[in-house]
Every structure is written in C-alpha cells, then in structure tokens.
Amino acid sequence: MHKPTAIMPNGTLPLNGESMPIFTPAYSRARGIFTNTTAVGISYRVAASQVTHLVPDVLELEEEPLMTSLFLSYGMSPVGSYTEYAHQVEVTYKGSKFHYNLLFILDNDAAIFAGRELLGFPKVLGKSVIQEFTGTRLVTGSTERPAGRKMVEFEFVPEQMDTNAPPPDRWMLNLRNIPSPHVGQPPSVQEFIPVGLGMKCDEVWTGKGYINFPRKSISDPWVNLDILRYEGSFMARNATAELLVRQPPQKPVCY
C-alpha cells in the first residue's frame, strides 16, 4: 500500500503590496504629516556647467540655474523624527518649472526607504544639525555624510518675521528609477514624479543666508559648487508640513 502524500503547509501571509520585509514593513503608508518642523532654506545661483552632469538630459537648465539648500528638522511623522538636508536645482520639464531634487541626506532608515521606493526621493544616510541657540542672532547648521565628514554648512541671520508661510512657488520633481535585475536591460521603473511640501507655520523669518561647501569631492560631486550670488533665505519654526503628490491629469472620456 502506498502511503498518502503528505500535504505540506503554505505560508499564510497575504501579498498586499507592503514594503519589505512584508511581515514587518519598513515604513507606514499613513498620510505624510510632519509636526514641530524647523526649516532653513537658502537659494543661490551657480554656473550651469557645475550641475549639468548631475541632471538628466531631458531637463532644461538656465545659464545660471537657481539652487536651493534646505535644512530640516522634523519633530514627529509616520516614519518618526529625523533631520534632513535637501539639495535642489531649478529645471524646466515639458514647459513647466520645477525644483529638481538632486540629493537628500537624512538619519532615519524608514524615511529613506519610503522616500526612495514610493516617490523616487534620492535619499541617502547622513546627519544634519540646526543650531538656533548660539548666543547671538546667528542660526547655524551643517550636514555630514558619513558622520564626521562635513559636506555643507550654513549661516542664517533673521531680519523680519511673517506669520504666514509663502505658498510654494513650484512643485519639486523626483526621478523614480528602479534598475532591471538583468544587466544591460532597461530600468524596471523610470518615471518623473512631481511632489510638494506644504507648510503651515507659527512663524517664518526672512533674512540673510550663507552656504559653504568646505570640501571638493569625487564621490559626492554635488558639493563642487562656486556660488555666484544669493537669491533669498528664510527660516520656518513650529511648522506642520504635509507631503503632497501631484495627481496626473485625467484623460478625457470619449462616448
């Protein structure tokens, strides 16, 4: 007599599109709200020749493109608390202007995974500091990558307070890119995603800002910049920020 074939057990975890590892997802899919946020933004212009090699060939630059350095500290969010540095350049894509996100440096792995996988934010590990209490009117800060290797420093002098944050002048733009597992094949995913960061602030200060890139680098070519002139600076305190994703235009329905 043949023994009956044993029925082997299957896993019970449903495949529901969560992040890896799926039995304990690396990040929450909750709405992207960030409370008790501090942000310092400094804008400046550089020669296009210093950034063309960092920008996809379908994006257009001015001769002296506008750059923005953002230093952020998030008090709490669905992915926890963290600090972040954002490095952006103004581009034109399909007739519209965007702040193209070149690089984000932060100290929270859940925020790195969520930003990269879902929305194409070019996020890497590092550490930023915003020092509000310096014994003077000066606000200072810096970003390190890796820890101990300072890549960018800032100074900000507040001059005038406004209780209303100015609305974002344009959307940011991410390149969401997932390479193919097969060498030599096109990417599995490659798309541009317009995103935004809306802010409600208790206070916004405008003032004078200064950015310094203290080293040249082969491995981090984004720091190899010579600033031509500054275009404006601000500091927002006690803000609530919301991550926004622009919806694609609806195709007309034909009857």
Active-site amino acid positions: 123
Could you tell me which residues are beta bridge partners of residue 81? none
Number of H helices, E strands in the chain: 1, 11
Question: DSSP 3-state assignment of 53?
Answer: helix
Rounded distance between C-alpha atoms, residue 153 and residue 215, angstroms: 11
Tallying the residues shown for the chain, one arrives at 255
Rounded distance between C-alpha atoms, residue 108 and residue 49, angstroms: 33
- Check residue 250 and report its DSSP letter: P
- Reply yes or no: is the peptide bond before residue 21 cis, omega within 30 of 0: yes
Contact partners, residue 161, CB within 8 Å, separation at least 6: 203, 204, 205
Rounded CA Rg of the chain: 21
* First vs last C-alpha separation in the chain: 66
Tokens standing for residue 186? 């096109």
